[in-house]
Structure 1
Amino acid sequence: IIRRMLPSFPRKGKKGTIVDFSTGEEIDKDEVFMDAMLEKISKDGEGSLSRRERKRMEKISERR
């Protein structure tokens, strides 16, 4: 009954996508993160990464 009354109400399970306004392309969060971390490494060295950042980079690399 409620669904009929509120057909535009968002449903569970639908995920939105993040899009770059200038290109119209979907943004890959992992790619953005990796770019930021590689920039940090080149600027401040590998020792500047936190344990959490290093672990996330390893997980992303394993998936690719």
Structure 2
Amino acid sequence: MSQKRITLNVNGRAYEVEIGLKTMLLDVLRDQLHLTGTKNGCGHNACGACKVIVDGEAVNSCVYPAK
């Protein structure tokens, strides 16, 4: 799988990570940044347990591509 390097600003801190092209934001937050407060409830955009704010808008991170 092809990889790309991105920079995420989370809680006022910049993180540089390498991700696959189909990596979801939830996976980056939990697995690479070890920020485990965001939960994986359903994995299908239904329950909202994974909801985070991206550029001022609430999104379900289980289905939101990391970019």
**Interval containing the TM-score (normalised by the shorter chain):** under 0.3
Q: TM-score, structure 1 length as denominator?
A: 0.23
Q: Name the structure where helix makes up a greater proportion of residues.
A: 1
User: Which of the two has greater strand per residue?
Assistant: 2
TM superposition score normalised by structure 2: 0.22
Task: Please tell me whether Structure 1 or Structure 2 has the larger radius of gyration of its CA atoms.
Answer: 1
Higher relative contact order (CA 8 A, sep 6+): 2
